[in-house]
Amino acid sequence: MPAGTLYRGREGMWSWVAHRVTGVLIFFFLFVHVLDTSLVRVSPEAYDEVVATYKNPIVNLMEYGLVAAVLFHALNGLRVIAVDFWSKGPRYQKQMLWTVVGVWVVLMAGAFYPILQHTLRDLFGS
């Protein structure tokens, strides 16, 4: 393999990978959500049983992960739009990525307690 032809990956590549991974995760959530919600038409009792199984700390952490995935996917999608349609977008794509990551971290920190409060109370008390 000639030297210099192997792409070693930088911020743009990892942003691309994270965008695809979050998109797939969101798709699978929506698929499961449609399936479990459709149970209400078949058997309301079965629906209630399924929803009751969701009320545990593991699923609550998964909900936080879902918020993280949706938020990153949305913010990075806005960055991709800016890179594609703004004439200076490609020049500033790295700075925009770090801005997206910074905003994402701040918003996820702010969402930590509101989303996980029930789990935190169950594990550590009031």
Judge contact between 33 and 119, C-beta under 8 A. no
Give the model's pLDDT for residue 6: 57
DSSP letters of 65-82? HHHHHHHHHHHHHHHHHH
- Per-residue tokens: 96: 């925009």
Position 8 confidence tier, pLDDT thresholds 50, 70, 90: low
| pTM metric for this prediction | 0.85
Span 70-108, pLDDT tens digits: 999 999 999 999 999 999 988 999 999 999 999 999 999
Give the model's pLDDT for residue 106: 98
Given a cut of 60, whether residue 19 has pLDDT beyond it is yes
Q: Which long-range contacts (CB under 8 A, 24 or more apart) does 114-123 make?
A: 115/60, 115/63, 115/64, 115/67, 116/60, 116/61, 116/64, 118/60, 119/57, 119/60, 119/61, 122/57, 123/57
Given a cut of 80, whether residue 2 has pLDDT beyond it is no
